[in-house]
Amino acid sequence: MKKVFSFLAVVVLTYYSARVAVADAPFTNLEGVGGVAFNPVAYLGGTSLTDEERAPWDGSPFGEAAKYIGKPRFGAWYVNLSDVDVNWFATGVSDTFFNRVEVSYGYNNVNQQGAKSHNKHTVGSKLLVLPENFNEWNFVPAVSVGGIYKNTDNVLAGAHNDGWDGYVVGTKLITQLPRPVLISGGVLFTDSYATGVFGYDKKTAATGFGNIDLVLTNQIITGFEYKQGPDFKTFKNADYWDAHVAWTPNKNLTLILAYVFAGNYKATHDVGLGDGVVLSAQYAF
C-alpha cells in the first residue's frame, strides 16, 4: 500500500504544480554528474556566462578566461528505501569549461540499520562530442562520452574499493509536439555493485539506460528513468527505475520529488534494495 501512496504523491504534485506556468536540465545527479537521478544525459552540467555577466571582466586578465569558465551547479539528494532500512544522502557539483567539457564531484553516504555506513566519492568528466542540432540539422541529438572514477569504503568481502564507469549518451529535446519532450539514452560500462555502494568487480559489464521527460510548463518537468542492472559472476544488480517531477520556482532553484524502485529486496537472483521516496534540491548559479 505504501508503494501506491508514494506513486500517487508524485502524480498529485505533478497535476497541481502544472497549473503554475523555466524547468531546468540537466540536474546534478546522485554521483555529481549532469543528468537526472541515476543516469547521465548528453547535456553538460553548469552553465556558461552570458555576455552581460562577462562584461565586468572585459579588459582584465580574467576577461578571456571568463569566456571558457562556466557557473557551477549543485545538487543534494535524500533517498529513503524503507524496505531495507536505508537512508541515502548525496551531494554533488558539476561545471562546464570551454562549452565542451563537464567536470564533476559527488559524495554519497549510505546508512543501513544494523550495518556499517558506506561512503562513496566520485570524480567525473564528460566531453560533448556532438552539440544538439549540429550544423542546423534539427534531428541531430547531443552526444557525449564520459567517465567516472569511484571509491567506496566498507565494501563487501572480495570486492574492490574503487572502480570506473564509462558511458556514451545521446539526448534530444523534441519541440515539434504540443509540449516539448526530452529523450535520452545510452550505454554504460561499469564494474559497480549497486552503483558502487557495495564495491566493484574485477570485470566490466555493458548495460543500457534511458530517460523520457515531458516539459509540462516553463517550471515543471515530469518523467521516467530506467537503469539496467549489470550482472557479474558473484553479484547481480537489479534494474532501477523512477518516476519524478521537477519544479523550478526561479532560474536558480529546482526541487525534485520521485518514487524509485531499486529491485525486489526479497529476490534471490539479484540484489534489490526495494522502493522508496526521493527528494532533491538543485541550485544553479
DSSP state of 234: S
DSSP state of 218: S
Q: Which residue has the cell 566493484?
A: 200
Query: In 199-228, which positions are buried (b, 16+ CB within 10 angstroms) versus exposed (e)?
Result: bbbeebbebebbbebbbbbebbbbbebbbb
Residue 23: pLDDT over 90: no
In sequence order, the β-bridge partners of residue 207 are 188
**What does pTM read for this prediction?**
0.87
φ, ψ dihedrals at 71, nearest 5°: -100, 130
Q: Cα separation of 102 and 268, whole Å? A: 39
Arithmetic mean of pLDDT, 132-149: 95
Q: What is the CATH number assigned to the segment(s) 2-284?
A: 2.40.160.40
41-64 pLDDT, tens digit per residue, is 999 997 766 667 666 666 666 666
**DSSP character for 50?**
P
Q: Pairing between strand 34-35 and 162-174?
A: unpaired
Q: How confident is the model at residue 70, as a pLDDT?
A: 85
